[in-house]
Structure 1
Amino acid sequence: MSCLRLFTGLFRRFRSMVLRRPVRLAGQCALCGGCCRNILLMYEGKWLRRPGQYRAMLEHLPNYARFEHAGYDDYGFMIFTCNRLGEDNLCSDYEGRPPLCRNYPSESIYYQGGRLRRDCGYTFEAVTFRDAILRRLGRRPDFAQELGKELHRADNGRKKKEDGQP
């Protein structure tokens, strides 16, 4: 994990604890299939780096055989892809999905300094220190800024529909 991701994750966790406001997951699945590709797997608290770790994981979690090794990322972690992803970007074994798939996207991604793909229909919404201070002072965020955010979200939704995404 890069130092920047580590710092980002620690800052996000610290901010949530201080403000007592956990991150909120918003949106819905865009059926892009991106979460079924370029997957990092963790076993016994460690990200997989070696094929031997993957084989050991499969002894205890045979359902994870659906994830096929596809290469390595820039930090040496193994990257996997799911062999149950159909050409229509839908899971061919939806009812038999492992917990990793059922719980995606998890807030743990946010607190580890990660982010979701741009084409993902989900987003993380977190209260910032600025938001908390303005609320404490009895001020609301700038209307133009809030309107801009809403217009941006609507524009992204329109673009997804034009691209044939739900």
Structure 2
Amino acid sequence: MMKYTFEIDLDRYKNLAQQKQKTHKKFLAGLAKKPPKQLDKIVKEVHEEVFLEIDCTKCANCCKTLGPLWTEADIERVAQHLKMKVSDFEVAYLRTDEDGDKVFQTMPCQFLGSDNLCSIYQVRPKACREFPHTDRKKIYQINNLTIKNTLYCPAAYEFVEKLSYRLK
């Protein structure tokens, strides 16, 4: 299958997402009230379609603006990969935020290269692997997160647009 990619205009996508916030919220709330039959199957198909059109390496906005939450397993895995002690890794890269979560000290991600590729891709945090969460079952359980992600991620925006069109 051929992958089509294009340059991504983040400002355009953010403006579109802001304009569609109410419409998208209403659509997703409707899914939560009465999920259509085969919703998980349709979500998977739409997710795959979106990622044939959008190449994350043309954007990497999530890596530039949204830091992942780091689980203990993430910290241990990446520290081991970097041949660092967990404590040294945490001191070098992480801080504890107001919610008690481990997050990056600074953004953009220190592991993001100038080519928008991740230098720890094979061992990246779970939050990075799952972003923008558009391929999960029972998508309506994360409506607030999906809406938020449309403001940062063109793929999340396209996902909601295509899903709403598909379920008209």
Q: TM-score, normalised by structure 1?
A: 0.45
Q: If each structure's strand is expressed as a fraction of its own residues, which one has the higher value?
A: 1
Structure with the larger helix share? 2
Structure 2 length-normalised TM: 0.44
Which of 1 and 2 has greater Rg? 1
